[in-house]
């Protein structure tokens, strides 16, 4: 029990430190430019999925993307909006209905994300290729 309590205290202290470490370091302008990404997981039916694509973030809360899903020959396009909080966490919502939570590096050079749509298990990473 003592080890468990120490682990919980250490985890809580680490979480508080990491949240404070990025306080007010990020904003919607942190994400600007072209990014390439990969994602993998399972769809709502439990079928494995893998996807790659390109996204463009305008630094003002708007995004567009083109993607390719494994097992299909066609590209798909979507657009949407995003928010970035001061602690470098954020959300993105697409016109297709997809939505994600993410954590961005304070430099804006990369971020990791996970789906917030019920029944869909998907995670991946975006990497900035230019800031335009």
73-117 pLDDT per residue, tens: 899 999 999 999 999 999 999 999 999 999 999 999 999 999 999
pLDDT of residue 131: 87
φ/ψ of 48, rounded to 5, equals: -65, 140
What CA–CA distance (Å, rounded) separates 101 from 112? 9
Identify the band that residue 21 occupies on the pLDDT scale cut at 50, 70 and 90.
low
Tell me the DSSP string of 75-98: EEEEEEEEEE-TTSEEEEEETTS-
pLDDT, residue 95, reads: 98
Q: What is the pTM of this model?
A: 0.81
Nearest to 111 by CA among 129, 124, 98: 124
């Amino acid at each position: 029990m003592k080890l468990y309590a120490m682990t919980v205290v250490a985890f809580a202290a680490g979480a508080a430190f990491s949240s404070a470490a990025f306080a007010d370091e990020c904003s919607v302008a942190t994400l600007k430019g072209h990014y390439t990404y990969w994602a993998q997981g399972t769809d709502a039916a439990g079928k494995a999925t893998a996807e790659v694509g390109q996204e463009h973030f305008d630094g003002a809360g708007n995004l567009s993307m083109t993607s390719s899903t494994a097992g299909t020959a066609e590209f798909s396009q979507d657009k949407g909006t995003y928010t970035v909080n001061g602690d470098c966490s954020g959300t993105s919502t697409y016109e297709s209905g997809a939505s994600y939570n993410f954590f961005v590096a304070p430099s804006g050079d990369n971020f990791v994300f996970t789906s917030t749509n019920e029944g869909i298990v998907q995670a991946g990473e975006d990497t900035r290729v230019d800031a335009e």
